[in-house]
Amino acid sequence: MKKRPLGLSKLEVSVVGLGCNNFGILDLETSRKVVDRALTQGITLFDTADIYGNRGGSEAQLGEILGARRKNIVLATKFGMAMDDATDTARASRGYIMAAVEASLKRLRTDYIDLYQLHTPDPKTPMEETLRALDDLVKQGKVRAIGCSNLPAAGIRDAAAISARNGLASFVTAQDEYSLVMRDAERDLLPEIAARKMSLLPFFPLASGLLTGKYQKDRAIPEGTRYARGTRFSDRYMNDENWAIVERLRAFCDARGRTLLELAFAWLLSHPSLASVIAGATRPDQIEMNVRAAAWELTPDEAAEVDRLSAKG
């Protein structure tokens, strides 16, 4: 398994990461099998959040499963989304962060978090207050590096200026949606990330399954899949424009004896600012498929052709 640095931090991560959003929803033994397979396949980045698994369940399962193996991975979690039903909480304030990190450390059964990420912007809290709190956690050794998620390019730029002006720890990663059918990040976000020498951690890299190849246009959605459980993702991704892209990409893969899943990983990893493709799994065999997919390295000409085939408008 190849590794890449997380921005300007001292952390390195496997180019395939494990998204742990299913933990806490899956039963403990199923989650354990997924984690065990990820570790044996060389995955070192485990990405979770306090809200995952019905508010705390993912962190709790991960902490129980990892045990002494925690030291072998880069453990990433997030704060800032609602852990209760209150509507007026400032979830990036100093007081909130200090309480949230202690709760995550307890659930994860660890005394430090490798990458602590602001999950979503908080308009109630000045960014300087957030960054000063996170800087204190870094100085205390409870957090090794910090990142953000869902922060627009202008927000990343402003945060970097605040950190530089005040000598504070700065965001080394940005976690945002990016895939072959969702390329909006290329307009402003990716150039800003590159300029700051940060790393992108894409979420929904497989468009919630559309890019795995298991769905076919005008065919019934397979039972037990994410799209079959509700319309949130199918409404978002299953449209005529995306289907046209998928069919063009499928032909590109067929001509090379490759799969759509392999292309989804290979294209993302062709971007130098991208550190790791974080993909969830509900079964151990999905881990192996993801790891195999990441082995394909596109040539510059192939990457350019895929850019053309997946372009919208």
Positions marked active-site: 52
Q: Is the distance from CB of 277 to CB of 267 less than 8 angstroms?
A: no
- The CA-to-CA distance between both ends of the chain, in Å, stands at 36
Instruction: Sort residue 122 into left (φ over 0), alpha (ψ -120 to 50) or beta.
Output: beta
Q: Residue 203's beta-bridge partner residues? A: 177
In terms of Cα–Cα distance, which of 237, 239, 240, 258 is closest to 249? 258
- Helices and strands (H and E) in the chain: how many: 11, 10
Cα(267)–Cα(229) distance, integer angstroms:
28
Cα(239)–Cα(51) distance, integer angstroms:
29
Specify the DSSP element, H or E, that contains 113: strand 113-118
- What is the separation of C-alpha 57 from the centre of its chain, rounded to a whole number of angstroms? 18
